[in-house]
């Protein structure tokens, strides 16, 4: 006997209160290692473009509603009746129907409010070890994108590095949680996978926005960006409180990519070096030339950076890049020993590795980069579509 979609029952339950779980609570529980079943009821092609991958104990399943409702027995779904089930869809609508269906059959199911669109707005904050001149260092993990940004506080002055477009999250953290005074916003490069909140934050706070001048123009045709910024160059310093961020120009992922070094203990590498890969050099349409620049930047890093410097990138691709404390980062000597492209010591072998592992660039990335330059306007609806799915800024990542 097959289960049928009892429309009267489901509509009645939908009109009542469907048990919900917020994306932030889901992230918190997964981050703490709680075993949860996550049932994604979207079509497989949409799941392939981006899904929840967060948490070492995540039990993920993809079964569209049409297939789930047609099963002769829910035992065939593989769902464990004794473990909570978070049901997710695109925007939190069809997941309510699924939640009602599962609840009616004894499952402890919850609909993820807002669906994947809301999941990609969740930021998990993690405190890092303070430095001699910086008493607070916070890594903001945008779990749906695998994107990382940072807030540093020294003597009450705060600097934000690589913020996403959800500026209220940064305002809340800086002003309310850290009770600090924002003094600067920095982008380590002109991002292609997400819309930066850098200019909006700087304008709202009335503080300077910093980016390297080589990234203040379109890499496609040289059109100057419509930006209000202060240029960074190699060897510059950004001073706040008792702290100083030293700027190292590390081109390759972009022409203006920089690494920010704090107290010779932390390196905010942007999309230059990740824990397990490097930034792809093809997003400006000049893959061969920029790959050579990337090699030169790596050679410089290997010469100049101390082994105990902690690499803190702007992205990650997998749970394996986390430390036991869930922070994404690693000592530079560990990176040079375990990060495959960074271990390559021969330029020709490196360039071949990059070429062999390069994947097609997402079409949306050109639009995002131009929007970050102020050269095209993007609505909030467009932003959601453009940013959907995980980042693909590392060599070796693909759809």
Cβ pair 268, 188 in contact under 8 A: yes
With respect to residue 164, please indicate whether it lies within any of the assigned structural domains: yes
Cβ pair 230, 217 in contact under 8 A: no
Q: Are 23 and 115 within one domain?
A: yes
Most confident stretch, 23-27, 283-287, 387-391: 23-27
Instruction: Work out the average pLDDT over 260-276.
Output: 97
CATH number at residue 356: 3.60.15.10
CATH number at residue 65: 3.40.250.10
Domain stops at, among 77, 104, 119 = 119
Q: pTM of the prediction?
A: 0.92
Domain stops at, among 76, 92, 119 = 119
Q: Are 181 and 41 within one domain?
A: no
- Lowest mean pLDDT, pick from 1-5, 202-206, 279-283: 1-5
Host domain of residue 353: 123-387
With respect to residue 358, please indicate whether it lies within any of the assigned structural domains: yes
Instruction: Work out the average pLDDT over 128-153.
Output: 97
Rg (CA), the chain: 22
How many of the other CB atoms lie within 10 Å of CB of 111?
A: 27
Q: Which tens digits make up the pLDDT trace of 64-73?
A: 999 999 999 9
Q: Are 374 and 241 within one domain?
A: yes
Q: Are 211 and 288 within one domain?
A: yes
Instruction: Work out the average pLDDT over 329-345.
Output: 97
Looking at residue 95, the DSSP 8-state letter turns out to be H
Q: Are 249 and 143 within one domain?
A: yes
Q: Are 265 and 326 within one domain?
A: yes
Report whether pLDDT(3) > 50.
no
C-alpha separations of 35 from 30, 57, 95 in Å: 7, 5, 20
Report whether pLDDT(2) > 50.
no
The confidence band for 16, taking pLDDT boundaries of 50, 70 and 90, is low
With respect to residue 397, please indicate whether it lies within any of the assigned structural domains: no
Report whether pLDDT(6) > 80.
no
With respect to residue 250, please indicate whether it lies within any of the assigned structural domains: yes
Task: Give CA angle at 52 (2, 168), nearest 5°.
Answer: 130
Domain stops at, among 119, 150, 169 = 119
With respect to residue 199, please indicate whether it lies within any of the assigned structural domains: yes
Q: Are 88 and 152 within one domain?
A: no
The residue written with tokens 């059959």 in the block is: 105
Report whether pLDDT(7) > 90.
no
Structure tokens at 298: 């790596």
136, β-bridge pairs: 153
Q: Are 54 and 188 within one domain?
A: no
Q: Are 168 and 60 within one domain?
A: no
What pLDDT, on the 0 to 100 scale, is given for residue 1? 27
The confidence band for 136, taking pLDDT boundaries of 50, 70 and 90, is very high
Residue 355 C-beta-side C-alpha neighbours within 13 Å? 10
Q: Are 57 and 74 within one domain?
A: yes
How many of the other CB atoms lie within 10 Å of CB of 77?
A: 17
Q: What is the DSSP track for 245-307? A: EEEEE--SSSTT-EEEEETTTEEEEETSB-SS-BB-S-TTS-HHHHHHHHHHHHHHHHHHS-T
Q: Which tens digits make up the pLDDT trace of 102-123?
A: 999 999 999 999 999 999 999 9
With respect to residue 396, please indicate whether it lies within any of the assigned structural domains: no
Structure tokens at 331: 């000592």
State how far the Cα of 80 lies from the Cα of 77, in Å rounded to an integer: 9
With respect to residue 380, please indicate whether it lies within any of the assigned structural domains: yes
What pLDDT, on the 0 to 100 scale, is given for residue 278? 97
Q: Which tens digits make up the pLDDT trace of 19-58?
A: 999 999 999 999 999 999 999 999 999 999 899 999 988 9
Strands ordered across the beta sheet of 243-249 = 237-240, 243-249, 258-262, 266-270, 310-313, 330-331
Instruction: Work out the average pLDDT over 4-27.
Output: 69
Q: Are 96 and 37 within one domain?
A: yes
Cβ pair 295, 275 in contact under 8 A: no
Q: Are 37 and 173 within one domain?
A: no
Instruction: Work out the average pLDDT over 354-360.
Output: 93
What pLDDT, on the 0 to 100 scale, is given for residue 41? 97
With respect to residue 394, please indicate whether it lies within any of the assigned structural domains: no
Q: How many domains, the chain?
A: 2
The confidence band for 396, taking pLDDT boundaries of 50, 70 and 90, is confident
Report whether pLDDT(13) > 50.
no
């Amino acid at each position: 006997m097959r289960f049928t979609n009892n429309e009267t029952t489901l509509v009645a339950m939908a009109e009542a209160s469907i048990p919900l779980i917020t994306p932030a609570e889901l992230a918190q529980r997964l981050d703490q290692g709680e075993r949860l079943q996550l049932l994604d009821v979207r079509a497989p092609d949409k799941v392939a473009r981006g899904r929840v991958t967060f948490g070492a104990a995540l039990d993920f399943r993809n079964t569209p509603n049409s297939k789930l409702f047609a099963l002769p027995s829910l035992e065939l779904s593989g769902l464990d009746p004794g473990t909570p089930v978070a049901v997710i869809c695109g925007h939190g609508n069809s997941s309510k129907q699924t939640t009602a269906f599962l609840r009616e059959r004894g499952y402890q199911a919850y609909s993820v409010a807002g669906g994947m669109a809301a999941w990609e707005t969740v930021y998990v904050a993690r405190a890092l070890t303070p430095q001699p001149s910086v008493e607070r260092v916070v890594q903001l993990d945008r779990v749906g994108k695998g994107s990382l940004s940072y807030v540093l506080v020294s003597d009450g002055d705060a600097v934000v590095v690589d913020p996403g477009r959800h500026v209220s999250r940064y305002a809340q953290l800086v002003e309310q949680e850290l009770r600090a005074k924002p003094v600067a916003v920095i982008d380590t490069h002109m991002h292609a996978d997400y819309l930066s909140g850098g200019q909006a934050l700087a304008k709202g706070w009335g503080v300077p926005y910093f980016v390297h001048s080589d990234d203040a123009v379109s890499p496609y045709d040289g059109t100057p960006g419509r930006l209000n910024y202060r240029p960074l160059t190699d060897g510059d310093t950004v001073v706040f409180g008792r702290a100083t961020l030293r700027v190292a120009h590390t081109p390759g992922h972009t022409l203006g990519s920089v690494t920010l070094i704090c107290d010779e203990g932390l390196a905010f590498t942007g999309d230059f070096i990740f824990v397990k890969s490097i930034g792809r050099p093809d997003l400006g349409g000049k893959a061969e030339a920029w790959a050579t620049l990337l090699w030169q930047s790596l050679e410089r890093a290997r010469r100049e950076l101390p082994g105990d410097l902690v690499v803190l990138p702007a992205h990650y691709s997998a749970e394996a890049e986390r430390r036991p404390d869930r922070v994404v980062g690693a000592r530079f000597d560990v990176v040079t020993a375990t990060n495959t492209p960074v271990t390559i010591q021969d330029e020709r072998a490196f360039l071949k590795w990059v070429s062999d592992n390069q994947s097609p660039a997402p079409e949306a990335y050109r639009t995002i980069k131009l929007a970050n330059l102020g050269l095209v306007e993007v609505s909030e609806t467009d932003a959601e579509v453009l940013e959907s799915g995980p980042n693909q800024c590392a060599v070796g990542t693909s759809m």
